[in-house]
Amino acid sequence: MNSRWASDFSYSYFKQILQTILSKFKLHLLSQAPYILEEHDTRRRHLVLRHDVDVSLKRACTMAEIERKFKINATYMVMMESSLYRIDNDYSCEILCKMTKMGHEIGLHIDPHLHGNEFSEKEINSACEELEAITGSPVLTVSFHRPPQRFMGGALKVAHRVNAYALELLEGYRSDSKGYWKDGEPLPWLREFNGFLCQLLIHPIWWGDEHMSREERLRAFVFEESRGKPLNHAETLRKKIIETINVEFNL
C-alpha cells in the first residue's frame, strides 16, 4: 500500500506542524543531539527540526522567519558547491547572518555525488571553515545531499561534527524529500509519536502561501526567479534544479 502523502504544502499546514511541535516536544538544534542522547531524559519527547537548503536560500529565510514568530529555532543545512545559489555573495551572506541572528543554526549540506561518493575529513573541515567565515558562527553539523544507502545509519559524528544521518537520529525520522512524505501525513504521526527522539526534515523549496504540487511549485519558482532575465534563463535554471534534486518537471 502506497502511503505517500503530498496533499498540503502550504505555510498554513507548516504552522500546524510547528504548533504541534511546541505542544508535545522539547525542541533541539541538531548540534545538541549528543547531549539529548547522553542525558536520555524520557520525561519529554524530543525533536530535532532540520531543513536542507537544496535550491533557494530566499525560501529558507522565509521559513526561518515563520519559525521565529513561533519562537522556534531550527537547523538549516546549506551547500557550499550549489549550482543554484552562491554562498559567498553579499546577498547570501546577508541571509545567513540574518538567520543566525534569529537563533537558527547553520550547518553544512554536502553532496557525496560531487566527490565520487568519497570525501575526507579534510574536505569537510575546509568547507565548514569557509562557511564559518561567512556566518561568524561555528559549524557543528553535517548532512548529506541525496545520501547513498551506505551513508544512512552511520556514526553520530563525522569530522567531529554531528551527522544528521547517524543511526541514533533515524529511528524516529520523517522527511518531505522530493515533495512528498513517503511515510504518510506528518501531523498525525507527530501527534501520536511515543518514542524518545525524532528528527523532522523539511525542505523549504516545497512550501508556499498556497498548496501546490511539487511540479507546480518548481515551475512557479523558475518563473519567479527568471523574471526580467534572458530568455534562456528559465530553461537553464530548470536543468540545474533537476540535476540538484532529481525531480523532473516541465515549464
Flag whether pLDDT at 2 surpasses 70: no
Q: What percent of the chain has pLDDT over 70?
A: 97
Q: Residue 105 forms beta bridges with which residues?
A: 75
Pairing of β 105-110 and β 173-175 = unpaired
What whole-number percentage of the chain has pLDDT above 90?
84
Give the residue extent of every domain in the chain. 11-39+47-209, 212-251
* pLDDT average, residue stretch 98-104: 96
DSSP string over 33-94: HHHHHHH--TTSEEEEEEEEESS-HHHHHHHHHHHHHTT---EEEE-SS-SS--TTSHHHHH
Predicted local distance difference test score (pLDDT) of residue 10: 98
Contacts of 82 (CB under 8 A, 6+ apart): 54, 244
Q: Say what the pLDDT of residue 112 is.
A: 76
User: CB of 47 within 8 A of CB of 27?
Assistant: yes
Write down the pLDDT at residue 118.
67
pLDDT of the residue at 115? 66
Residue pair 201/74 in contact (Cβ under 8 Å)? The answer is: no
| Chain segment 170-221, per-residue pLDDT in tens | 989 999 999 999 999 999 999 999 999 999 999 999 999 999 999 999 999 9
Average pLDDT, stretch 103-127? 84
Query: Is residue 88 scored above 90 in pLDDT?
Result: no
Q: pLDDT for 177-191, tens place per residue?
A: 999 999 999 999 999
pLDDT digits (tens, 9 = 90+) for 48-81: 999 999 999 999 999 999 999 999 999 999 999 8
What architecture is domain 11-39+47-209? Alpha-Beta Barrel (3.20)
Query: How far is it, in rounded angstroms, from Cα 198 to Cα 51?
Result: 14
d(CA 80, CA 86): 8
Average pLDDT over all residues of the chain: 93
Phi and psi (nearest 5°) for 60? -65, -40
Task: Give residue 41's pLDDT.
Answer: 81
Q: Which range has highest mean pLDDT (6-10, 83-87, 125-129, 151-155)?
A: 6-10
Mean pLDDT confidence for 9-31 = 97
